[in-house]
Amino acid sequence: MSAMETSAAEARGGYRRFFAWTAGISLLLMLAMIALEVVFPQGIRISPQPSSILADALGTHAGTMEVDIYDFQLLIMVVSLVSCVASIVGLLVVAFIDSIESHKARRRRAIEARLRHPTAWNPKESVPVRRTPPRNARLRALREAVHELE
């Protein structure tokens, strides 16, 4: 294997590890956010008073623009879902590229083996090798020769 093929294989291994870790961490984060949603279905409010009471007390409608933790939780869940799906797609792409490269390497080794040992893969085109007849055929030929002499 040349230096370029080795570095490409190492890079694909690094990509595989990166995508696997990213998918695992984002999946755990997404499951944690879903569990938080199950435990606290109404969401967690920062202030004990509803936002409409605060907006009326301040005399403005700025309370409607306030961001509570529930929105942040949804944002984290969506980002982790997208990250998890992208990492799984990345893993599939790297696995597909690895399978193509391994198929090419197997074909290359098979071609090299054929070039090294041409008789092993096509005996019809190889140089004819003188084969000795089987032992019992030689015995028959010897008996025939002896019977002819008699």
Residue bearing the bigger pLDDT, 134 or 141: 141
CA separation for the pair 82, 4 (Å, rounded): 33
Greater pLDDT, 91 or 70: 91
pLDDT at 140 over 90: no
Question: What is the rounded (10 degree) CA torsion for 34, 40, 46, 49?
Answer: 150
C-alpha 13/C-alpha 10 separation (Å) is 5
Task: Give the range among 7-16, 113-122, 132-141 with minimum mean pLDDT.
Answer: 113-122
User: How does pLDDT run across 36-56, given as a tens digit for each residue?
Assistant: 888 877 655 555 555 555 555
Domain tally, the chain: 1
Q: Under a CB-based contact definition with an 8 Å cutoff, are residues 78 and 100 in contact?
A: no
Q: What is the pLDDT of residues 115-135, one digit of tens each?
A: 887 666 665 655 555 666 667
> Whole domain around residue 12: which residue ranges?
3-149
Name every residue whose Cβ is closer than 8 Å to that of residue 22 and which is 6 or more positions away in sequence: 83, 84, 87, 90
Q: Contacts from 113-118 at CB under 8 Å and sequence distance 24+?
A: none
Q: Which pLDDT score is estimated for 132? A: 67
What is the residue-averaged pLDDT of the chain? 77
